[in-house]
Structure 1
Amino acid sequence: MELIVLNRRVYAYTGGKPFDAALPCVVFLHGALHDHSVFTLLARSFAHSGFSVLALDLPAHGRSEGPPPESIEAAGAWVLACLDAAGVQQAAFVGHSMGSLIALEAAAQAPDRAWHLALLGTAAPMGVSPALLGTAASDPVAAMRMVNTFSHSGIAAKPGYPGPGAWLHGANQALMERTQAGWLDGNLFLKDFELCNGYANALQAAAKVRCTSTVVIGALDQMTPARSAKALMEALKARTVALNCGHAMMQEDPEGLRACLGGALVQG
């Protein structure tokens, strides 16, 4: 589905069902150098279970027009503008990695518009090492390989991953390279990681959130290890779920993630 938000085209995947603003809405927000496709399974599952779904491509990512957001705070405000464009008053915000910070901001900026907040693979602060930022600036493809390696656990490698014919590392690398190539006016990879690194408002935002919250961590996550989310979990008084996977939890444990989000969103 295409929306016009702040005079720019925005793509929202609706899970294979026509969007119905009258149903409880779930908004999915992807991470750095990703697009809506990382949420395909979850979006379809919820869209076929009585929810309306907006799996958004962030500005300059996937099929959405740029430019990219100037800050996490600006991205949160953009999400609320997407709700306005879709005719949605309230939504559950589900964000992964960088998208978790954006979800947090959206829920904090308009507490009455969030009926649940789910943060996947999150951290506060979400600092990025100077070495990675430097490589992202000078050799983005090499930096993508670094991120790809640390985003996956041993579960993703043969013979551990249960999905026959799936190459998680290769698929994620291809997605990142495609997303990077889709924005011709700058280094989108560097921009995304600078947004994460520069966001310092997480705990202040958490204090403004009024809805119930769920934090999902990967026990094998090397990008946002569980300890880096502890302060945020406490500030939100969030229900916490640990999955036996790495940072790429939508790919490494899709069924476990679907089950815990399903339980959280049904309870509200």
Structure 2
Amino acid sequence: MNYTVNGHATYCYTGGKAFDAAKPTVVFIHGVLNDHSVWILQSRWFANHGWNVLALDLPGHCKSDGPPPASVEDAAQFVLALLDAAGVQKAALVGHSFGSLIALETASRAPERVTHLALVGTAYPMTVSPALLDGALNDPQRAIAMVNTFSHSLLAPPPSSLGPGTWLYGSSRALMRRVLASNRDANVFHIGFKACNDYTNGEKAIEAVQCPVLFLLGDADQMTPPRATKALVAKARKSKVVTVHAGHSLMSEAPDEVLFALRDFVAAPA
């Protein structure tokens, strides 16, 4: 489904279901050099169990037009504009990595519009090493290889993910290369990493959030290790921490565990 947001076409995967304003809505927000497809299992499950699903491509990524957001704050304003364009008054937000910061900032800016906030593979501050920042700018293919090494704890996914025999490193690298190549005018890799690294509003943002917050973390995550969430967890008003056996790519390494955690969290009363 396409919406016009800030004058540009924005693509949202709906799990194959028509949007129904009478149903509750879940918005899925991807991370750097990803797109809506990283949520394929989770988004399809929610779409087939009574929810509207908006698994978006961020501006300038794959099927969405417009300039890629240069900051977490810009991306949060985009998400609010998307809710307006879709006619959604309230939604649950689920974000991974960069997307988790976007979801957090969105919930802080419009707490009355967010019923549940799920931060998957998150950290604050989300510091990016100088080597990765430089690589994303000057040698993206080398940086993609580095990110894949740091993001995975398994070589092959369990059955509910991409299927037996799939090489996680290879499929993730192919996705990242495709997303990078989808924008010939801007380096969405470096822009996204810099936005993560520059974000300084996390602790103030979590204090402004009014809804329940889920921290969904991977115990083998080298990109955003669980210990890096302590400041946010301590300041969240209504928080729950779920740790699964996975690296940073939680949705592909622990697909069922991520789905079940999101299902139980979002289905609970706010």
The alignment's TM-score, normalised by the length of structure 2, stands at 0.96
Output the CA distance in 1 between the equivalents of 2:38 and 2:213: 21
Whether the 8 Å CA contact 1:36–1:62 is kept in 2: the answer is no
Superposition deviation, residue 186 in structure 1: 2.3
What pairs with 1:63-212 in structure 2 (closer than 5 Å)?
Answer: 63-153=63-153, 156-158=154-156, 161-162=158-159, 163-212=163-212
Superposition deviation, residue 188 in structure 1: 1.4
- Does residue 251 (structure 1) correspond to residue 249 (structure 2)? The answer is no
Q: Which 4+ residue blocks in structure 1 deviate beyond 4 angstroms?
A: none
SS at match of 2:246: coil
Whether the 8 Å CA contact 1:34–1:62 is kept in 2: the answer is no
**Deviation larger for 132-141 or 43-52:** 132-141
Question: Over residues 60-109 of structure 1, what are the superposed CA-to-partner deviations in whole Å (9 max), with x where a residue is unaligned?
Answer: 11200021012101100110110010010000000000000000011000
SS at match of 2:77: helix
Output the CA distance in 1 between the equivalents of 2:243 and 2:89: 31
Counterpart AA for 2:6: L
Q: Where does residue 49 of structure 2 map in the other structure?
A: 49
Whether the 8 Å CA contact 2:62–2:183 is kept in 1: the answer is no
Output the CA distance in 2 between the equivalents of 1:208 and 1:229: 17
Whether the 8 Å CA contact 2:158–2:254 is kept in 1: the answer is no
Output the CA distance in 1 between the equivalents of 2:191 and 2:106: 20
Whether the 8 Å CA contact 1:104–1:205 is kept in 2: the answer is yes
Whether the 8 Å CA contact 1:2–1:10 is kept in 2: the answer is yes
Question: Over residues 205-262 of structure 1, what are the superposed CA-to-partner deviations in whole Å (9 max), with x where a residue is unaligned?
Answer: 1111000110001001000000111111111141000001111000000000001110
Output the CA distance in 1 between the equivalents of 2:87 and 2:158: 40
Superposition deviation, residue 165 in structure 1: 2.4
Whether the 8 Å CA contact 1:72–1:101 is kept in 2: the answer is yes
Superposition deviation, residue 137 in structure 1: 1.6
Question: Over residues 101-121 of structure 1, what are the superposed CA-to-partner deviations in whole Å (9 max), with x where a residue is unaligned?
Answer: 000011000000000000000
- Does residue 35 (structure 1) correspond to residue 39 (structure 2)? The answer is no
Counterpart AA for 2:248: H
Counterpart AA for 2:254: D
Counting matched residue pairs gives 265
Output the CA distance in 2 between the equivalents of 1:58 and 1:230: 28
Superposition deviation, residue 161 in structure 1: 4.5
Output the CA distance in 1 between the equivalents of 2:21 and 2:75: 22
Question: Percent identical across equivalent pairs?
Answer: 52
Q: Which runs of 5+ in 2 are unaligned?
A: none
Question: Over residues 155-202 of structure 1, what are the superposed CA-to-partner deviations in whole Å (9 max), with x where a residue is unaligned?
Answer: x215x7454121111111011001101111122111110000000101
Output the CA distance in 2 between the equivalents of 1:206 and 1:9: 30
Q: Where does residue 16 of structure 1 map in the other structure?
A: 16
Output the CA distance in 2 between the equivalents of 1:19 and 1:174: 30
Output the CA distance in 2 between the equivalents of 1:190 and 1:83: 27
The alignment's TM-score, normalised by the length of structure 1, stands at 0.97
Counterpart AA for 1:152: H
